[in-house]
Amino acid sequence: MPTVDNTQNLTDGMHIVVDALHKNGLNDIFGVIGIPVTDLARHIQEIEGMRYIGFRHEQSAGHAAAISGFITQKPGVLLTVSAPGFLNGLTALANATTNGFPMIQISGSSDRAIIDLQQGDYEEMDQMNIAKPFCKAAYRINHPEDIAIGVARAIRAAMTGRPGGVYLDLTTALLGAPMDKDAAAKTLFAVTDPCPKMPPCNSAVERALTLLATAKQPLIILGKGAAYAQADDNLKTFIEKTGIPYLPMSMAKGLLPDNHPLCCAAARSEVMENADVVMLVGARLNWLLAHGKGKHWNPNVKYIQVDIDGKEMDSNRQIEAPVVGDIYSTMEAFVAGLSKHNIKSPDAWITTIDGIKKANTVKMEAKLNTDASPMNFFNALKAVRDVMVDHKDVYLVNEGANTLDDTRNVIDMYEPRLRLDCGTWGVMGIGMGFSIGAAITSGKSVVAIEGDSAFGFSGMELETICRYKLPITVVIFNNGGIYRGDHKNLGGGADPSPTTLMANARYDKLIEAFGGVSYNVTTPAELQKALSTAINSRKPTVINCVLDPAFGTESGHITSLNPKNIHP
Ligand code: ADP
Ligand code: TZD
Ligand code: MG
């Protein structure tokens, strides 16, 4: 129940927290309630323009908050209860930090005096100190008059520089602490310029463009930092004016349409092996790019790297032309610099790439056009592709192993920031959280392409999807297992193998429990029809897509990362 005492003109900590979030335009709060934050969630619903979205598990709520941060450039907010709720949310907070998504996890916590003496409080845990290694910053607010400042610090920490997760600890005592209403109102403020532009210095821009002008076989790699920066127009202008081929990282697909003549995703390994100057824009040289060295790269390659975080430079190998600054300002400076620098990708390089793209596309089309029955990833994805091409503004959420890799390769994206996936960690469990976060934040339709294992990590959120009547279609690529479904127990016992799940599971039946729409499909034609109907209906839908359990590669495209096994 509301705790405001109207006779004494008093308010309390939890009202001030809600007011401070609202003042800063943080209006969608994702979470799971309980002691001590239940009333806080109620108060959110009392404020016009604010929404509380209640989930079944904090991890999904956290993923929803994180992805809304990626989409909007404002921190998404997760609300959790003490200890176990806090811990359930922490995976999402850590994942947001790893991927550079701005997010604030606000958690209630128990009595500090009891926690500090470890006297066994209800849900006792030293949450702030536990959160620290998993986020950019962790703060605790102790006095109601500090709430506005605490929220401001959290917003700045989440947004400034490389975005990421912030933890904000709200003790039970703070949430119930009284304060004079007028005095509290005076503390509130909207943070001024929480993510100031950080243009690169001229000499760094000059150095980069001078190096790029020397390239015979230049390549631009666009990462999710470029997607986040929303520098779409200048990126397009720079690429089209210079004619340099580009490679989008997974969540940068669609920054320029995947069918753009300069997109070289279909010749990925060949361009990596041959490019002589590579310009990274918001992409780290981590495992996803083979650390920028070794057999996947031209041994003489030189790098230009554009990143907001100076310590990213030289992290894996020498960066010949570091450009530290925000991508929006940097791309403006690069486009302006073209009047002085004559940068043009040589025609021979483009002709070579076009030849490789054509050959690889022919090979891929042959895989897509099989009439394999039961279906495999490829003829199923062709059906998905034929529908998605008519729905270019629909979000595509994607997780799994083969389901992830093959979907990324087959389904083209045409608009920025619509592809949302397991990101830097390859984490399973983002599926329903990202779908709900994207649908709530944008109002647009979402299609989630989920491996059967991947879906299981957040499947109970189907109830959330139905409760909020969200336009989300979940397609489950059911090959009966983690990677595939036909492995045997090597010891000969009756237990299923470690990779085995139920191939005959009817995931579609789950959504029937909540009044959603269900399909069980066994052919590409059925899949195409069901998906098209589902998207057009905007009704919560699950499509169980029956695939061949004998289809799928162990660990998808990253089999080589498994430890060597001398007794396979
Ligand atoms: P991907 O996985 O797509 O390769 P990463 O997550 O590895 O992308 O890299 C994204 C990079 O973008 C991070 O190093 C981050 O610091 C950087 N970044 C994020 N936002 C901006 C921005 N607005 N300006 C410049 N760099 C940014
Ligand atoms: N747990 C978490 C949180 N993240 C992970 N990445 C894993 C476990 C390990 N893992 C993968 O890397 S992919 C995957 C797991 C469990 C599931 C693959 O099976 P799937 O997809 O059914 O989702 P495919 O299409 O069968 O390959
Ligand atoms: Mg599977």
Give the C-alpha separation, 484 to 91, whole Å: 26
3-state secondary structure of 311: helix
Sign of the Cα torsion 92, 97, 100, 102 reads positive
Domains detected in the chain: 10-187 (3.40.50.970), 202-353 (3.40.50.1220), 369-554 (3.40.50.970)
Eight-class DSSP state of 120: -
CA distance 210 to 197: 24
CA 345/CA 327 separation, integer angstroms = 22
Query: Which residue type occupies 354?
Result: D
Q: What is the DSSP letter of 557?
A: G
Regarding the beta carbon of 485 and ligand 2, being less than 6 Å apart is answered no
To which residue do tokens 């509290």 refer? Answer: 184
- What integer pLDDT is reported at residue 273 of this predicted model? 98
Residue nearest to atom 19 of ligand 1 (CA): 225
Q: Read out DSSP for 183-234?
A: HHHHH--PPSSSS---PPPHHHHHHHHHHHHT-SSEEEEE-HHHHHHT-HHH
Can you tell me which atom of ligand 2 is nearest the CA of 484? 26
Contact 509, 518 (CB under 8 A): yes
C-alpha neighbours within 13 Å on the C-beta side of residue 52: 18
Q: Starting from the edge strand earliest in sequence, which strands make up the sheet with 277-281, in order? A: 246-248, 218-222, 277-281, 302-307, 321-324
Q: Which of 482, 500, 551 for a ligand 2 pocket mutation test, highest count of atoms within 8 Å of Cβ? A: 482
Q: What are phi and psi of 140, to 5 degrees?
A: -125, 135
d(CA 445, CA 393): 8
Q: Residues with Cβ < 8 Å from 566, sequence gap 6 or more?
A: none
> What single DSSP character describes residue 461?
G
- Mark out the alpha helices in 505-552 (DSSP H runs): 508-512, 524-537
Q: DSSP character for 554?
A: T
Residues lining ligand 3 (ion), CB within 5 A?
451-452, 479
Taken in order 442, 445, 451, 456, the sign of the CA dihedral is positive
Cβ atoms 32, 58 nearer than 8 A: yes
SS3 state at 236 = helix
Mutate to test the pocket of ligand 2, among 57, 483, 554 (most ligand atoms within 8 A of CB): 483
Beta bridge partners of 11: 179
Pairing of strands 218-222, 277-281: parallel
Element (H, E) at 180: strand 178-180
pLDDT in tens, the chain (568 residues): 555 555 689 999 999 999 999 999 999 999 999 999 999 999 999 999 999 999 999 999 999 999 999 999 999 999 999 999 999 999 999 999 999 999 999 999 999 999 999 999 999 999 999 999 999 999 999 999 999 999 999 999 999 999 999 999 999 999 999 999 999 999 999 999 999 999 999 999 999 999 999 999 999 999 999 999 999 999 999 999 999 999 999 999 999 999 999 999 999 999 999 999 999 999 999 999 999 999 999 999 999 999 999 999 999 999 999 999 999 999 999 999 999 999 999 999 999 999 999 999 999 999 999 999 999 999 999 999 999 999 999 999 999 999 999 999 999 999 999 999 999 999 999 999 999 999 999 999 999 999 999 999 999 999 999 999 999 999 999 999 999 999 999 999 999 999 999 999 999 999 999 999 999 999 999 999 999 999 999 999 999 999 999 999 888 888 888 888 876 6
Q: Which atom of ligand 2 is nearest to the CA of 427?
A: 4
User: Residue 424 CA: which ligand 1 atom is closest?
Assistant: 2
Across the strands, what pairs with 543?
A: 475, 519
- Best substitution site from 284, 288, 311, 419 to test ligand 1's pocket, by max atoms within 8 Å of Cβ? 284
Strands (E), 13-90: 28-31, 51-54, 76-80
Pocket of ligand 1 (CB under 6 A): 99-100, 162, 223-225, 228-229, 249, 251-252, 282-284, 286, 288, 307-309, 312, 326-327, 424
The CA angle 403-405-407, to the nearest 5 degrees, is 60
Beta-ladder partners of 80: 107
Answer whether the bond into residue 563 is a cis peptide, omega within 30°: no
What pLDDT, on the 0 to 100 scale, is given for residue 559? 85
In order of 30, 65, 254, 420, the CA distances from 83 in angstroms are 17, 19, 40, 29
Q: Is 452 in the pocket of ligand 2 (CB under 6 A)?
A: yes
Can you name the residues that pair with 307 across neighbouring β-strands? 324
Q: What is the DSSP letter of 73?
A: S
Instruction: Report H helices in 470-523.
Output: 508-512
Residue where the block lists tokens 């059967």: 452
The residues, any chain, with a CB within 8 Å of residue 127's CB and separated by 6 or more, are: 82, 83, 86, 107, 109, 167, 169
State residue 568's pLDDT score. 65
Structure tokens at 251: 């969540």
Q: Is 453 in the pocket of ligand 2 (CB under 6 A)?
A: yes
C-alpha 331/C-alpha 538 separation (Å) is 37
Q: Is the dihedral of CA 140, 143, 147, 150 positive or negative?
A: negative
Query: Nearest ligand, CA of residue 553?
Result: 2
Output the CA 78–ligand 1 centroid distance in Å: 22
What SS3 state is found at 167?
Answer: strand
Measured between alpha carbons, how far is 31 from 79 in angstroms, rounded to an integer? Answer: 5
3-state secondary structure of 430: coil
The C-alpha angle with vertex 326 and arms to 320 and 332, in degrees rounded to 5, equals: 90
Straight-line distance from the first to the last Cα atom of the chain, in angstroms, rounded to the nearest whole number: 61
The answer, yes or no, to whether any atom of ligand 2 lies below 6 A from the CB of 427, is: yes
Q: Which helix (H) or strand (E) holds 159?
A: helix 147-159
Minimal-distance CA residue to ligand 2 atom 11: 401
Residue 520: closest CA among 538, 537, 541, 499: 541
Q: Which two tokens stand for residue 411?
A: 């389904």
Task: Please provide residue 543's backbone torsions phi and psi, each rounded to the nearest 5 degrees.
Answer: -115, 110
To the nearest 10°, the Cα dihedral for 422, 426, 429, 430? -20
